[in-house]
A and B are shown apart, each in its own frame.
Chain A
Amino acid sequence: QQPVQSPQAVILREGEDAVINCSSSKALYSVHWYRQKHGEAPVFLMILLKGGEQKGHEKISASFNEKKQQSSLYLTASQLSYSGTYFCGTERPSTSYGKLTFGQGTILTVHP
């Protein structure tokens, strides 16, 4: 089942902060965050693992609430380059090779 992202879209001015949420109704093993610009490849940002381990971009932080099966991506002091569509991809314990189920995306627009 597809995770649900919120908000669907957000508009910021440079320097402002944003939070993007990802929620699943199923038990999760890990959450992966990607950013995709129009016509380009999704770019890996962050992976959050059950147990609290994180790996990812130094200027972006995220959290993973295992009990609620929710993850949040925190974008601070936004830059113009942060614009794009953000996707969370969730991995369930039942798969052994990293199959991801993606949310519908959150469109982030940063204005000067």
Chain B
Amino acid sequence: GAGVSQSPRYKVAKRGQDVALRCDPISGHVSLFWYQQALGQGPEFLTYFQNEAQLDKSGLPSDRFFAERPEGSVSTLKIQRTQQEDSAVYLCASSPRGGASKNIQYFGAGTRLSVL
């Protein structure tokens, strides 16, 4: 079956522009995670959704970052007034159960954001 799909794969933005990154999780998956991966580093947690509810946004670095999942499937990560330090790969992961530990996460290939 189809895996986690992210679009666009690459995004170049001028400093100060707003960007929107899309994640299509595996169909039927309840949980959805966003991670930020800097060059040469491991993924770093940003936010978590269970269906349409955003239950944890403790990893969002500033109020310029906003995520939504209005119908409990597709999710969008929006970054307003982008800055150079926002340059990174943004990964989305989904897992079949909600509110459960020991839950395997399935990752998308990510969106590489470059802010000039």
Contacts and interface: CB of A to CB of B under 8 A. Distances in A.
A34 B91 CA distance: 14
The secondary-structure label for the interface of chain B is loop
Contacts of A34: 107
Interface bracket on A: 20 to 34
Most buried by B among A2, A87, A97: A97
Interface stretch (B11-19, B40-48, B67-75, B79-87): B40-48
Q: How large is the interface on B (under 10, 10 to 19, 20 to 34, 35 or more residues)?
A: 20 to 34
B101 interface: yes
Given A41-B3, A41-B109, A42-B91, A97 B103 contact: yes
A94 to B, nearest CB: 10
A98 B50 CA distance: 11
Given A41-B4, A42-B107, A98 B41 contact: no
A1 interface: no
Interface of A: 2, 29-30, 32, 34, 39-44, 47, 49, 55, 87, 89, 91, 95-105
